[in-house]
Structure 1
Amino acid sequence: MPRYGSSHSTSPFIWCAAIICGIISVAVIFGGILVFVGYMVIHPRVPVISVANAHLDFLKYDIVGVMQTQITVVIRAENDNAKAHALFDKTEFKLIYEGKTIAYLRQDEFEVDKEKSVLFNYEVQSSPIPLNPTMMQAIDYAIKQDVITFQLKGGSKARWRVGPLGSVKFECRLSCDLRFRPSDHSYIPSPCTSAHKH
């Protein structure tokens, strides 16, 4: 006669755990689908920050090796998305000359409407900057060539809200040269943008 092992009923605790895991899995999948659909409906373009314009307001250095300067930088924040406002936060840039940070540009949290852009004028005045021999040679050469170069580095964190489902976040970074003519203080335009538009 065949012998059969005794049957063991599954513990109610195991059944409950399995049901809860199943519900969580379905919720995660469903939530992911909703976020994806919302993202595709909004279809956001990456927000862009760029240098719209600049001007060398003031530049002075002496034989002792001290430089003073004031620069106006116009930053543009763009939101090309037609279906959502963009929020920019933690916006900060460093203005650098020959590897030395001479000023900071900061902006409080701000919002850019759908398919709009905003401009921010920064008047950056440095404290007297002591120049080492390398920097003095660099500025002498810049005056002779009539081109002086500063570096602008930094960025902002941007995000859109995808309806009630959450937000889409992006990092906007700038790293570029700002070139000016000391003879007339004019800005030599060159592309300076955080990202290519799609």
Structure 2
Amino acid sequence: MSAVRMNSKKYLSKYQGRRTHPIIWCAAIICAVLAVAVIITGIAVCVGYIIIHPRIPSISVLSATLDTFRYNEAGLLVTQITMDIRATNDNRKAHASFQDTSMLLVFGGMEVARLVAPPFEVERNGTTDLHYVVESRAIPLEQEQMELASLSLRRDEVLFVLRGRFRAQWRVGLLGSVKFWCYLNCRLRFRLNGTFTNTNRCSSRPQ
């Protein structure tokens, strides 16, 4: 009985004599500090975005004119459109940049022209306009497109589709930068006299 008690005392004495290594304490303190810092940063970012309420920049068709739309019996189409695209940054506290801007002008499923723009920036709560003169050479049409062109001439209305995408990025102070891919897909309606007859706004959407 006394031997058992003696062994227990030796075991407890040996266990109590062990101390946590300083490196482990330092690692634990560093992890705790990092965890607190991450929590504080997350709260600051959430509060900052709630207060600032940043909006995603957009592009939209400001104006357009159908300058030329000619179609002959040989099935060749010649067209020219003058178009102004507006890039808008509604953020009052965030500078925005637009990159990889590319748009396609389509008639009857056929690509008429490609519209591109180099990277550019838009000031806080500002706009930047891009001017395009989209001119195509004689484009050979397939049977379905020829019928669509003939129908357009009879109805005195021409329909184009504008598809595009761009990458928008803006930075809000110390909260960091945000990037979004935005896409454009809308119909452009014209009278043969060149009048742009769209009733709905043609504007990009984030995705």
Shorter-chain TM-score: what band? 0.7 to 0.9
1:75-94 mapped onto 2 (5 Å cutoff): 75-94=85-104
- Aligned residue for 2:196, secondary structure, equals strand
The runs of 5 or more residues in structure 2 that have no matched partner are: none
* Residue 70 (structure 1) aligns with: 80
For these two proteins, the number of residue pairs brought into alignment is: 195
1:1-198 mapped onto 2 (5 Å cutoff): 1=5, 3=8, 7=15, 9-10=19-20, 12=22, 14-182=24-192, 184-190=193-199, 191-195=201-205
- Out of 110-119 and 126-135, give the one that drifted further: 110-119
Aligned counterparts of 1:169 and 1:115: Cα–Cα separation in 2? 18
Aligned counterparts of 2:163 and 2:102: Cα–Cα separation in 1? 9
Q: What is the Cα deviation at residue 139 of structure 1?
A: 0.6
Q: What is the Cα deviation at residue 12 of structure 1?
A: 5.0
More helix by proportion, 1 or 2? Answer: 2
The runs of 5 or more residues in structure 1 that have no matched partner are: none
Q: What is the Cα deviation at residue 195 of structure 1?
A: 4.3
TM-score (norm 1): 0.86
- Aligned residue for 2:175, secondary structure, equals coil
Please provide the CA RMSD for this pair. 2.2
- Work out the percentage of aligned pairs sharing the same amino acid: 45
Q: What is the Cα deviation at residue 156 of structure 1?
A: 2.0
**Contact 1:150–1:177 at 8 Å: present in 2 too?**
yes
Compare relative contact order (CA 8 Å, sep 6+) and give the higher one, 1 or 2: 1
Aligned counterparts of 2:180 and 2:172: Cα–Cα separation in 1? 13
**Contact 1:53–1:189 at 8 Å: present in 2 too?**
no
**Contact 2:159–2:189 at 8 Å: present in 1 too?**
yes
- Aligned residue for 1:160, secondary structure, equals strand
**Contact 1:54–1:187 at 8 Å: present in 2 too?**
yes
